[in-house]
Amino acid sequence: MCGIVGYIGHKPAFPILIKGLKRLEYRGYDSAGVALIESSDLDIFKKKGKVSELEKFTETNSFKGTIGIGHTRWATHGEPNDRNAHPHYSHDQKLAIIHNGIIENYGALKTELTEKGYEFRSDTDTEVFITFIEDIKKSLDLNLEDAVRVALTKVVGAYAIVIMSVEEPDKLIAARKGSPMVIGLGQGEYYIASDATPIVEYTNEVVYLNDEQIAIISRENLEIVDTKDVPQEAEIHKLDLKLEAIEKSGYDHFMLKEIMEQPNSIADCMRGRLNANEGLLTLGGIREYAEMITNAKKITIVACGTSWHAGLVAEYIFEDLCRIPVEVEYASEFRYRNPIINEGDILFAISQSGETADTLAAIELAKSKGAFVFGVVNTVGSSISRVTHEGAYLHAGPEIGVASTKAFTAQLTVLTMIALRIASKKGTISDSKYRELLVDLENIPGKVAKALETDKTVREISALFKDAKNFLYLGRGYNFPVALEGALKLKEISYIHAEGYPAAEMKHGPIALIDENMPVVFIATRDSSYDKIVSNIQEVKSRKGKVIAVVTEGDVLIPKMADFTIEVPSTHEALMPLVSVIPLQLLSYHIAVMRGANVDQPRNLAKSVTVE
């Protein structure tokens, strides 16, 4: 949820920390701060607001220290303000900590520490955490790493932490449980971060910490132990990430860049996996388990947010093509309703970041019941990619904009390929239908590129509806989840209330809202539900609703009825969500920009939800 960064080496730490915080700001932007050791002093500088506010606050300082930690916050405990910003001092101000996660038993720890005479300067669980470490260090006369190790056996919750001490000024201690952390390896220097984006500029060699591992880092050495002080192997990975991929490349916003990247990101998903000319579809992740998935009596999909919408589309695809029953669950609710999971059940977990806390919890529950868990994630080396039995990467490249766009279409692409592979193996579609769908899928990047040409039309429509108070999104069949996704995008970045519904459900309530002030977006491409959705459009028009329709190229009927139409290329209806979602992404983007909203960093949201 929050962004953490650390550096120890031979270069000035402050510029590295600030640049790292800017790269991590999509993870949280309520406040930012740094802690540095310089001239035997441990100093903290922090400020409410974005990293730019911290830069202004420190612009008169000249920092030369070569060890430091930084943090950009998404608030959980305590409102966003200067005193709740990270880093936090211990009570004696000899220790400093940055923390991503939630300490669930912080209340009991705070009461215990208060009774011992400790006082607190903030409302955060993090200050309690570092004061607890200070107390253990003093009462048991331990060095820093041992005090941290003992503390971690007593706290309950999730954390990624980095700690520094003025008494041990050549050392950083890092640890994680349930929140991501990666360590970059340099020559006489180490970089620490929540993800690889702040590190790729300096090194392509990294170590991903696993849960309940502790890293003791000096300038010349990296040692990893577990909470029982048992040494752990530091497995080195090579980053497959280019610096230009995390830059805006001339676009005004990351979100627009990522929307426009989708022809390439979808093609990258299929590269090396799909060859329609030869009728080949190869997915290494399911090769060993294809038989198990083919024979599944049921598939359960768990996900959150946009990934949940991708799961809903997958439900239609798997049931239609593979004839396997599918249940799509909110990961946040899955483990709290005592779900029925049997030995050998199949569970798909979908997450862009691979770090979503609720999805990770659902995975652990499913595994404990004997289910086979398959992950669909974008971020290489992420927690979900390591705890699932098998999986498939999206290869969509980094997604920096908080509102997911290219990850959604990449998820649909990967899930469609899996469904096609299983349907072919199971014999639930003919060979000719299989090859036809392979060709259609291979052509999707070009059709998405064509859909992106609607940008000018969408921008003109956006200007007319930017001040609307409400939107309604309606779709049927495969396009119903697209309606949900379109509504979510508008809510996320423009702060306009929007709801998505199956078009047929409009008559069961939402139709009461329709008047001349209600824009209604129909995803009305030509498919098996076309005649029905035409009737739904007529129902809205008869009540003076303003209809914006996404239609198939060449449609002559709906443009006569709708107030505005946006044409997209024709494709098989199972693949249409990959195309029909594009204008909805553009609509939300342009409306948000016209309203003056912060598109890449919408209020109250963070990219990766690593706390429950």
Q: How would residue 602 be classed by pLDDT, with cut points 50, 70 and 90?
A: confident
Three-state DSSP state, 550: strand
Tokens standing for residue 16: 């590295």
Matching residue, tokens 């849960």: 211
In a domain, 494, yes or no: yes
426 and 314 within one domain: yes
**Does the annotation mark 607 as catalytic?**
yes
Q: Are residues 342 and 210 in the same domain?
A: no
Q: Measure the CA–CA gap between 186 and 190, rounded to whole angstroms.
A: 6
The tokens describing 98, both together, are 């940055």
Task: Report if residue 113 sits inside a domain.
Answer: yes
Q: Quick one: 400 and 474 in the same domain?
A: no
User: Could you say which of 137, 177, 447, 607 is catalytic?
Assistant: 607
Quick one: pLDDT at residue 478?
95
pLDDT at 304: 93
Last residue within a domain, chosen from 245, 272, 292: 245
State pTM to two decimals: 0.84
584 alpha carbon, distance to own chain's centre: 19
- Does pLDDT of 321 surpass 90? yes
Q: What is the DSSP string of 205-240?
A: EEEEPPTTEEEEE-SS-EEEEETT--B----EEE--
607 located within any domain: no
Domain edge (last residue) among 390, 422, 442: 442
313 half-sphere exposure, CB direction, 13 A CA radius: 33
Of 442, 472, 497, which marks where a domain is finished?
442
Query: Which DSSP symbol is given to 186?
Result: -
Asked whether the beta carbons of 199 and 182 are under 8 A apart, the reply is yes
The yes-or-no answer on residue 322 being catalytic is no
Mean pLDDT check: name the lowest of 74-78, 120-124, 228-232, 290-294: 74-78
Residue listed under structure tokens 């009774």: 115
Residues 253 and 282 in one domain: yes
Residues 211 and 275 in one domain: no
**Helix, strand, coil distribution of the chain in percent, nearest 5:** 40, 25, 35
Pull the structure tokens for residue 406: 């290219």
Q: How far is CA 42 from the centre of its chain?
A: 34
pLDDT in tens, 483-537: 999 999 999 999 999 999 998 887 788 777 888 888 999 999 998 889 999 999 9
For the chain, the domain total comes to 3
Is residue 278 located within the same domain as residue 360?
yes
- pLDDT classification of 606: cutoffs 50, 70, 90: low
Regarding whether 266 and 293 lie in a shared domain, the answer is: yes
Residues 67 and 215 in one domain: yes
Q: Do 233 and 287 share a domain, yes or no?
A: no
Domain co-membership, 223 together with 140: yes
| CA separation for the pair 442, 230 (Å, rounded) | 49
Tell me the CATH number at 533. 3.40.50.10490
pLDDT digits (tens, 9 = 90+) for 275-320: 999 888 988 888 888 889 999 999 999 999 999 999 999 999 999 9
Domain range for 159 is 3-245
* pLDDT of 254 higher than 60: yes
* Residue 606 maps to a domain: no
Average pLDDT of span 375-398: 90
Q: CATH number, domain at 49?
A: 3.60.20.10
> How many C-beta neighbours within 10 Å does residue 111 have?
11
Burial class (CB in 10 A: 0-12, 13-18, 19+), 189: buried
User: Do 418 and 538 share a domain, yes or no?
Assistant: no
Cis peptide bond N-terminal to 481, omega within 30: no
447 lies in some domain: no
Are 438 and 499 in the same domain? no
Q: Does residue 608 lie within any of the structural domains?
A: no
Whether 612 is in a domain gets the answer no
Contact 510, 535 (CB under 8 A): no
| CA distance from start to end of the chain | 10
Domain contains 160: yes
